[in-house]
Amino acid sequence: MADKLIKIAEGQYVMASQVINVEVGCHGDVFISTTKGKYTLELGYNERSYQGLARIVDEINKALSDE
């Protein structure tokens, strides 16, 4: 199993293996819960909450796969 750092905001990275949960909050923020704490995903330009959610889940899955 590979494990990589995932960028969630400018200057903030988490290890893919430490991610416990990813969810969209009631005001459109995307939250990433890890074994170390809870972080807010920085969305890209014109990126909507659920697009950001799908992107970060894909990045986490790719980081944890054997690619």
pLDDT per residue rounded down to tens, the chain (67 residues): 567 999 999 999 999 999 999 999 999 999 999 999 999 999 999 999 999 999 999 999 999 986 5
Neighbouring CB atoms inside 10 A of 53's CB total: 19
Q: What is the pTM of this model?
A: 0.86
Question: Residue 56 and residue 67: Cα distance in Å, rounded?
Answer: 17
Structural domain spans, the chain: 5-64
Q: Cβ(8)–Cβ(60) under 8 Å?
A: no
